[in-house]
């Protein structure tokens, strides 16, 4: 690993720490009755309303269709995610300090797997909320489920739902992308040098 | 048949000719700006906001109307002095104390003059004050949630008309008695008026942080009728001015007997000198009984306290506090121009508009240019204080406001018009008819240091043929007139509630950002609040039943209550658990003898129901809240008195 690569890897790893202050993901809902929109921010350790009362309001609306209330305390990921991120940051700094090519490649693969696992977990939760509905709900639409899109936008009854990375999420994506790109670059450089 | 038709068409022709004749001076159904042009200038597209909030007094309705300008659209009728069955203001246990007075519960008043709070002589959008004329009171309305926050009764006063005008930094709101009465009240012959009747000019201190009002001092004056007031600004900021009539001190048939003298007076009150006088111990504490009603901002529960003392300051004991400015013929308005130098008076029976000069007034005081005195109050010489007179302005000048561009606009009650005149040479520049009999007029910020001189609104007393007729009682009306150019242009007529006696406007941008959308449930301090469904329940204490209930889309908790008995006083304390914008819930039950509840998100409201019949009675949400609003209901089982049915209510699932 070149000196520049090592510095960038260390900085990218450190940059991931912003997820402790900035949210990872945003789910937005708009409807005729909600011109101002309501939404949720998913952070590494909590789920909060876009406006102070939005989580309450969303839970209130969701009870009509029999969706479980979103109770952040019941989601274990919010407890161990901060530790995983801390581990990943520490690992990144270690990789940069040791400067071994193989370690960088391993680190990049770990980050990619972590990202995929995170998305899969998000999908699992949203699938559960969207499909596992109270059979006694007031509003039952045959065949209808209420899972928000994994990423992008979707019309769910009168609500237009959007799901996109939030500021912290973009930083995380940028940091992971950068480290993966550096690992690839380093790998190619090594092959060129070998040939 | 045909002859009667022709008579009718001739009569129609006569009306048409009259209309044409009037059209020359700008009459007609057509606004003078031209219909299409005027329509565009008052058009606020769907979903767009008006440029100004416009607060009109409700007059005899006792309330405050909130409109948008330039559209003239009614936004809200804000209950102040009168009970309002649609949201239980003055009926609910939390709000009933607001209407308490030393005369007991007074559920109505005659509200005349809205007055926006000011900082540095310009509206700051914190509060709006309004006077209750009949049972003398001043109310303060909080402009973050558009609710009445406080009402203070004015002791020893009778007819609180010259009120609640504020000083430049809202140090004081004033309250002058329209009717002189025995002060303190006493059982005396009416014919002893001159001997026993006095006027009172009350200064209410307004706390600069909280807005809390307190009667600071009351100045005892000769027994005239004190009509209107304005405080000075800039150089005259330490002075307040009050018009008076009936300087004849008549006590019968005032329409003639109080109109005899050529000149009545404007009382100029040096309120900082009055403060000094109080500090110097020249005032005396006098027994009084008056209610001070305050809505607690945390619990939203009002309390009423009866105060027992007030501070009287006799004008005779404090030379230098009050001077009289002679002013022709029963003056109504007294209006200080944006510079604080000119004081225009509307002598409603006068043939000129006198304009006094503040600097000349100070000089006249210094030179002792006096023309006698009344009960120890020096009368300044008319010529020594006069800046000029507006000649032939029209008939019945009442009230003047200013556009901040060197012009004044005076309403003319008798000739039913607004007259624009110059503050530099006092010449009439323009005039425009009003329909009909204008009282006050209102320019946004038109009585402040910085008017937003775009419109003047005529506040009319009579509408006659201007709207679709609705039986003998017709709508009330205001008229929007553009004053941005050299000629006034009528743009719009719009109907208003009550009598739009006076009104004030403020740019919407000063209020929109600070509007509260919901009340914070977590800080709801109502003693009977249920902050969650698990906190609900029923309790009995003798013949009183308390129901702590919650409402959230789309159910009440509890919704099954049994064990209530005929004749019980059932207190429904309903907390709206919603924390979402624009989701109030209502509450009503069969045979409710007072009013329905309308509960804002996060708030608790209480209504008392006394069931008179045995049976099972439904209650329901009255404010269409959601798709399942019609399902938002419950039942109360009422058993005969002495029944053994236990008092129970259902609980949320899992409890």
Sequence ranges of the domains in chain A? 3-194
Q: Residue B248: inside a domain, yes or no?
A: no
Whether residue A53 lies within 8 A of chain B, CB to CB, comes out as: yes
Q: What is the mean pLDDT of residues B316-335?
A: 93
| Residues B464 and B577 grouped into a single domain | no
Cβ atoms of residues B129 and B117 within 8 Å: yes
Domain boundary among B457, B491, B516: B516
| Residues B403 and B498 grouped into a single domain | yes
Q: What is the mean pLDDT of residues A25-45?
A: 94
Cβ atoms of residues B641 and B566 within 8 Å: yes
Q: CB–CB of B552 and A138 under 8 A?
A: no
Backbone angles phi, psi at B14, to 5 degrees: -55, -45
| Residues B627 and B560 grouped into a single domain | yes
H-type helices in B407-533, by residue range? 509-512
What is the pLDDT, as a whole number, of residue B654?
79
| Residues B579 and B621 grouped into a single domain | yes
Domain boundary among B482, B516, B550: B516
Residues of chain A positioned with their CB less than 8 A from the CB of B631: 138
The length of chain A in residues reads 195
Sign, Cα dihedral of B94, B97, B98, B99: positive
Give B271-287 pLDDT, tens digit per residue: 999 999 999 999 999 99
| Residues B437 and B530 grouped into a single domain | no
Answer yes or no: is pLDDT of B4 > 60: no
**Bigger pLDDT: B26 vs A19:** A19
| Residues B557 and B489 grouped into a single domain | no
Q: Residue B51: inside a domain, yes or no?
A: yes
- For the domain that residue B399 is a member of, what is the CATH number? 2.130.10.10
How far from A103 is each of A3, A14, A111, A112, CA to CA, in Å? 15, 17, 12, 14
What residues make up the domain containing B455?
A: 37-78+392-516
What is the pLDDT, as a whole number, of residue B153?
98
What is the pLDDT, as a whole number, of residue A1?
79
Residues of chain B positioned with their CB less than 8 A from the CB of A57: 579-580
Q: What is the mean pLDDT of residues B609-638?
A: 96
Q: What is the mean pLDDT of residues B620-634?
A: 95
| Residues B589 and B498 grouped into a single domain | no
CA distance B603 to chain A (A): 15
Residues of chain A positioned with their CB less than 8 A from the CB of B552: 60
Q: Residue B614: inside a domain, yes or no?
A: yes
Domain boundary among B516, B533, B558: B516
Q: Name the pLDDT band for B335 (thresholds 50, 70, 90).
A: very high
Whether residue B579 lies within 8 A of chain A, CB to CB, comes out as: yes
Q: Residue B411: inside a domain, yes or no?
A: yes
Q: What is the mean pLDDT of residues B512-518?
A: 95
Whether residue A36 lies within 8 A of chain B, CB to CB, comes out as: yes
User: What average pLDDT does the structure give for chain B?
Assistant: 93
Taking CA atoms, what residue in B is nearest to A56? B579
Cβ atoms of residues A60 and A71 within 8 Å: no
Give B133-157 pLDDT, tens digit per residue: 999 999 999 999 999 999 999 999 9
Q: Name the pLDDT band for B607 (thresholds 50, 70, 90).
A: very high
Q: What is the mean pLDDT of residues B512-525?
A: 96
Percentage of chain B exceeding pLDDT 70: 95
What is the pLDDT, as a whole number, of residue B34?
84
CA distance B576 to chain A (A): 13
How far from B616 is each of A48, B573, B593, B621, B636, CA to CA, in Å? 43, 20, 17, 17, 6
Answer whether the bond into residue B527 is a cis peptide, omega within 30°. Answer: no
Answer yes or no: is pLDDT of B17 > 60: no
Question: If you ran DSSP here, which 8-state letter would residue B171 be given?
Answer: S
What is the pLDDT, as a whole number, of residue B339?
98
Sign, Cα dihedral of B562, B566, B571, B577: positive
Q: CB–CB of A60 and B552 under 8 A?
A: yes
* Separation of alpha carbons A22 and A42, rounded Å: 9
Q: What is the DSSP string of A76-97?
A: THHHHHHHHHHHHHHHHHHHHH
Range of weakest confidence among A73-77, B363-367, B406-410: A73-77
User: What average pLDDT does the structure give for chain A?
Assistant: 93
Between positions 546 and 575 of B, the ones with CB within 8 A of A are: 552-554
What is the pLDDT, as a whole number, of residue B30?
61
CB atoms within 10 A of CB B470: 9
Strand pairing report for B213-221 and B302-314:
parallel
| Residues B512 and B567 grouped into a single domain | no
Distance from chain centroid for Cα A80: 14
Cβ atoms of residues B480 and B70 within 8 Å: yes
| Residues B417 and B493 grouped into a single domain | yes
Q: Is B183 exposed, middle or buried (0-12, 13-18, 19+ CB in 10 A)?
A: buried
CA angle in degrees (0–180, nearest 5) for A45-A47-A53: 145
Answer yes or no: is pLDDT of B16 > 60: no
Percentage of chain B exceeding pLDDT 90: 88
Give the one of A57, A138, A139 whose C-beta lies nearest to B580's C-beta. Answer: A57
Q: Name the pLDDT band for B254 (thresholds 50, 70, 90).
A: confident
What is the pLDDT, as a whole number, of residue B29?
56
Answer yes or no: is pLDDT of B21 > 70: no
Interface test with A, best of B517, B523, B580 (most A CBs within 10 A): B580
| Counted domains in chain B | 2
Question: If you ran DSSP here, which 8-state letter would residue B89 be given?
Answer: B
Cβ atoms of residues B346 and B333 within 8 Å: yes
């Amino acid at each position: 690993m070149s000196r520049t690569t090592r510095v960038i890897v260390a900085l990218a790893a450190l940059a991931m720490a912003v997820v402790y202050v900035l949210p990872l993901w945003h789910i937005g809902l708009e409807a005729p009755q909600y011109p101002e929109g309501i939404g949720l921010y998913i952070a590494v350790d909590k789920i909060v309303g876009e406006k102070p009362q939005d989580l309450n309001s969303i839970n209130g609306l969701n009870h009509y269709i029999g969706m479980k209330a979103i109770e952040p305390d019941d989601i274990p990921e919010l407890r161990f995610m901060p530790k995983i991120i801390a581990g990943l940051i520490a690992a990144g700094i270690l990789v940069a300090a040791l400067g071994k090519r193989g370690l960088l490649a391993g680190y990049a693969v770990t980050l990619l797997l972590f990202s995929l696992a995170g998305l899969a977990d998000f999908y699992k939760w949203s699938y559960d909320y969207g499909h596992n509905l109270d059979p006694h709900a007031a509003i039952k639409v045959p065949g209808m489920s209420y899972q928000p899109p994994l990423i992008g936008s979707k019309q769910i009854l009168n609500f237009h739902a959007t799901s996109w990375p939030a500021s912290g999420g973009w930083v995380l994506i940028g940091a992971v992308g950068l480290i993966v790109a550096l690992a690839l670059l380093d790998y190619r450089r090594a092959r060129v040098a070998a040939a | 048949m045909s002859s009667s038709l022709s008579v009718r068409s001739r009569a129609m022709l006569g009306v048409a000719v009259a209309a044409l004749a009037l059209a020359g001076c700008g009459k007609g159904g057509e606004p003078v700006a031209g219909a299409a042009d005027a329509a565009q200038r008052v058009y606020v597209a769907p979903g767009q906001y008006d440029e100004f909030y416009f607060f009109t007094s409700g007059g005899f309705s006792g309330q405050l109307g909130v409109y948008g300008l330039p559209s003239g659209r009614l936004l809200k009728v804000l209950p102040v002095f009168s009970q309002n069955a649609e949201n239980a203001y003055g009926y609910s246990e939390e709000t009933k104390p607001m209407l308490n007075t030393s005369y007991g519960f007074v559920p109505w008043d005659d509200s005349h003059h809205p007055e926006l709070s000011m900082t540095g002589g310009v509206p700051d959008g914190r509060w709006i004050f309004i006077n209750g004329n009949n049972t003398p009171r001043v109310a303060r309305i909080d402009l973050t949630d558009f609710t009445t926050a406080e009402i203070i009764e004015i002791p020893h006063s009778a007819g609180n008309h010259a009120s609640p005008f504020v000083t430049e930094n809202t140090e004081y709101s004033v309250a002058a008695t329209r009717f002189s009465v025995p002060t303190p009240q006493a059982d005396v012959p009416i014919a002893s008026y001159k001997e026993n009747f006095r006027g009172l000019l009350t200064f209410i201190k307004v706390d600069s942080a909280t807005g809390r009002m307190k009667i600071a001092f009351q100045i005892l004056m000769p027994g005239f009728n004190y009509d209107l007031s304005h405080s000075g600004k800039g150089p005259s900021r330490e002075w307040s001015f009050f018009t008076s009539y009936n300087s004849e001190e008549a006590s019968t048939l005032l329409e003639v007997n109080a109109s005899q003298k050529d000149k009545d007076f404007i009382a100029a009150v040096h309120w900082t000198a009055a403060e000094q006088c109080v500090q110097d111990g020249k005032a005396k504490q006098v027994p009084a009984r008056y209610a001070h009603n305050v809505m607690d901002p945390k619990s939203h529960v009002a309390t009423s306290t009866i105060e027992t003392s007030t501070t009287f300051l006799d004008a005779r004991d404090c030379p230098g506090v009050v001077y009289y400015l002679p002013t022709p013929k029963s003056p109504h308005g007294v209006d200080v121009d944006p510079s604080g130098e000119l004081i225009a008076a509307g002598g409603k029976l006068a043939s000129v508009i006198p304009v006094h000069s503040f600097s000349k007034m100070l000089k006249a005081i210094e030179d002792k240019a006096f023309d006698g005195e009344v009960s120890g109050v020096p009368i300044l010489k008319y010529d020594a204080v006069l800046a000029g007179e507006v000649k032939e302005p029209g008939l019945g000048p009442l009230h003047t406001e200013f556009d901040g561009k060197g012009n004044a606009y005076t309403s003319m009650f008798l000739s039913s018009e607004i007259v624009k005149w110059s503050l530099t040479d006092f010449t009439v520049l323009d005039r425009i008819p009003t329909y009909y009999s204008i009282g006050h007029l209102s320019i946004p910020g038109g009585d402040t240091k910085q008017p937003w001189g775009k419109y003047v609104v005529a506040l009319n007393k009579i509408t006659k043929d201007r709207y679709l007729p609705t039986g003998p009682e017709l709508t009330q009306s205001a008229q929007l007139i553009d004053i941005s150019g050299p000629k006034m242009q009528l743009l719009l007529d719009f109907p208003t509630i009550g009598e739009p006696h006076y009104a004030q406007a403020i740019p919407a941008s000063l209020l929109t950002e600070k509007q509260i959308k919901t009340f914070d449930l977590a800080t709801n301090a109502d003693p009977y609040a249920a902050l969650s469904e698990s906190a609900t329940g029923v309790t009995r204490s003798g013949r009183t039943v308390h129901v702590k209930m919650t409402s959230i889309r789309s159910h009440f908790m509890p919704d099954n209550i049994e064990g209530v008995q005929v004749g019980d006083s059932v207190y429904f304390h309903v907390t709206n658990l919603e924390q979402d914008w624009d989701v109030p819930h209502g509450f009503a039950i069969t045979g409710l003898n007072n009013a329905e509840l309308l509960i804002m998100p996060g708030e608790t409201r209480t209504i008392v129901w006394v069931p008179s019949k045995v049976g099972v009675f439904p209650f329901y949400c009255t404010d269409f809240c959601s798709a399942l609003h019609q399902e938002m209901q419950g039942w109360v089982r009422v058993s005969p008195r002495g029944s053994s049915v236990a008092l129970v209510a259902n609980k949320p699932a899992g409890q």
